[in-house]
Structure 1
Amino acid sequence: MASANRFVLVAASLLALVPAAARADEEPLLTSPADPTAAATLAETLFQDGKRLLEQGAFVEACTKLAQSDALDPAIGTLGLLAACHEQEGRTATAWREYGETARRAEAVNDERGAFARQRASALEPELPRLLVRLPKGAEGIAVFRNGVRLSPDELGVAQPIDPGTYEIVARLPGRPEFRATVTAEPRKIAEVEVPDGNRPAPVDTPKKDPARLDPGTSNLSTSKGLGPRKVFAIVAGGVGLTGFSVAAAFALSAGSRNAASISIQESCTTAASCERGRELREDALRSATVANVAFGIGAAGAVTALVLALLPERAEAPKPASRTGFQYEVAPWADRTGGGALLIGKF
């Protein structure tokens, strides 16, 4: 897999999105009705504070300042930098939406920064986690909440992009029991929640009998219908492969966003401290890219091992040494910084 920072190097510098003097000559889309001059002055102060905090790596504080600034005096540069801040913070769906709005603002006034914002939004979109809440028939008037915030009807029954993390889903309908569920949103995956029909009792999980208890002389692996030890190992290896790919994707995304921030800071820094922060972000991006490569190699090794184990037939019970014949084989996974796979070793 190509290094994540190599992809970001071909993207335009974040400086093109948020130049140092951007707010001085921009026409805000909205104006504070109370005191436009005071609102613009406070927005400029918050913008500069947010930019400084972003250069220092204080992403939470920086995002708060930039969000306050844009609320007072909406501007292309402010929202673009806020999107980059949320991307650094790991709130990818929020950043995706803000990049899209930045592009719309820029394109409305023929501002060239819209192209960069659109590019960043396109890069983030495949990585977004999504949440799908399914409702039963006859659920008109139901109220569904995600972490305490009510979802609109348009957000139900459709996979909606959300930030990575854990969410509590609550569904309320008059005359029916309240439904609660907790889901975890992960990059490139859809977290699904199905609200049950309140008119029917919720299904009760029935404990399954343990085959080993029925026959102490046999194991779960050997008595599972159609699932021998080799198939079980294939499932385990497949799980390792999926985990490796997920970790690789997460670190690749982190490497890309940190490298983009490094380019922006190093091209606009005016002090030794801010320039040093840019170099630190660059080194963090390289480390994240290395982890992504290693994780991808492990994922590839697991996937190939699972495929080989799934395709090869189950070996019968080992024959006596005197009559041992036929093809004997072993599967050994391998991985390094650039890839992975599995070795099939055998003899007749």
Structure 2
Amino acid sequence: MLRRTLRIALILACTAGPLLASNPSHAQDAAELSQARAKFQQALELKQAGNWPAALRLLREVGQVRMTPQVRYHIATCEEKLGKLVAALGGYELALADADQVHPDFIAEVQASIEDLRGRIPKLLIERGSGGEAAIIELDGVALGSSSIGVEVPVDPGPHTLSARAPGRRPFSETITIAEEETLTVSVSLESLESDAPAPALPADPADPGADGAEPRYGVLPYVLGGVGAAGVIASGVFFVLHKNSVGGLEDRCPNHDCSALPATERERARGDYDTARTQEVVMWTTLGVGAAALGAGVALYLLDRSPTRELVQLPRGLALRPEAPQAQAGLSLVGTF
């Protein structure tokens, strides 16, 4: 540890002077070089204080004036401290490639940094899963080429956003977190858009007419028809009793419908009673027919609503009721073979 510290101190001491020495091949004026040297010294002080972002900003400004192996090294050091391990490794390797005429201790320090950093950089292996064979895959918003799929790719530690898209497939998006020295494998699978369609409903249990959860097709109509039918039948019975009483009284006064023996006033009254009796008979049969029809329709609609399939309701003698009527919004059809 002491040896490494001494190397760093030696590098800091030796690089400030020759770092920005004039070079005949460059035409920087003295003022520009002087400003660059001052910024470089300030950047070293910021590094010593642990202010890596500010030091990196100044070092990059120095590099715009003249990029030397020492400047590259210090930029890479700041990037490493900020978690930009991949960029830092590239900076160290560039510094080493240009360090032929630099102090041997500097070269040894750069080599040690490279060796240490290579073991710390995590690697991400992205594989194409189901539906992702032709997908466009992006890592942190940057599209990956085929050479980066199916191989270990060096990435910085921390969170990353992996996304993919393909025609006819639902977009894929996942946030992954990877630690130093870790190798993580992620499979990119894209579901078909057809999978968004609702699943088919399970068949209703015939033992439970309401198992399908559907609202009654006819609502309160079966009950209304049933009530009307019952009232019609009851009314028919009332008129039947009235009719029988009227006819019974007339037969006592006019046997065989012959009222000639009655006085004139009684005959007029008898004819009125005959008219009343005929009206009662007509009303009786009318209410009976309407009541029976309404009651039958109400019962049929009720059975259809209670039927799980709401299709045909079987009747005796090969007949069946269908819950529909041609050219009508609601009704019944009698189905059978004759």
TM-score by length of 2: 0.47
Length-normalised TM-score, structure 1: 0.46
Structure with the larger RCO, 1 or 2 (CA within 8 Å, 6+ apart): 1
